A and B are shown apart, each in its own frame.
Chain A
Amino acid sequence: MAMTKRLASTVLAAMALAVPTLAVAAPAHADPDTDFYNELHIYGIYGEKDYNAWIGKIACKRLWNNLDHDANQSAQFVKRQLAKTTTTEQTYQFLGAAYRTYCPEKVPILTQMAQPAPGADTPPAPAGPPLAAEQ
Chain B
Amino acid sequence: MLGKASIVAAAVSMVAMTIPAVASADATDDYPIPNRILKTTCTVDQYMAATRDTDPIYYQRYMIDYHNRPVDVQDAARDRIYWFFSLDYAGRRQYSEDTATNVYYEQMATHWGNWAKLFFNNKGVAAHGTDVCMNYPPNDPTVWDWT
Q: Which residues of A contact B (CB under 8 A)?
A: 51, 54-55, 58, 61, 65, 67, 77, 80-81
Contacts and interface: CB of A to CB of B under 8 A. Distances in A.
Contacts of A54: 56-57, 60
B29 interface: no
A80 B60 CA distance: 16
B60 A58 contact: yes
A21 to B, nearest CB: 35
B82 interface: no
B110 to A, nearest CB: 30
A67 to B, nearest CB: 8
20 contacts: A51-B57, A54-B56, A54-B57, A54-B60, A55-B56, A55-B57, A58-B56, A58-B57, A58-B60, A61-B60, A61-B146, A65-B142, A65-B145, A65-B146, A67-B52, A77-B53, A77-B56, A80-B53, A80-B54, A81-B56
A58 B60 CA distance: 8
A77 B52 CA distance: 10
A55 B54 CA distance: 12
A94 to B, nearest CB: 14
B60 to A, nearest CB: 6
Contacts of B54: 80
Contacts of B56: 54-55, 58, 77, 81
Given A54-B56, A58-B56, A77-B56, 17 more contacts: A51-B57, A54-B57, A54-B60, A55-B56, A55-B57, A58-B57, A58-B60, A61-B60, A61-B146, A65-B142, A65-B145, A65-B146, A67-B52, A77-B53, A80-B53, A80-B54, A81-B56
Contacts of B52: 67
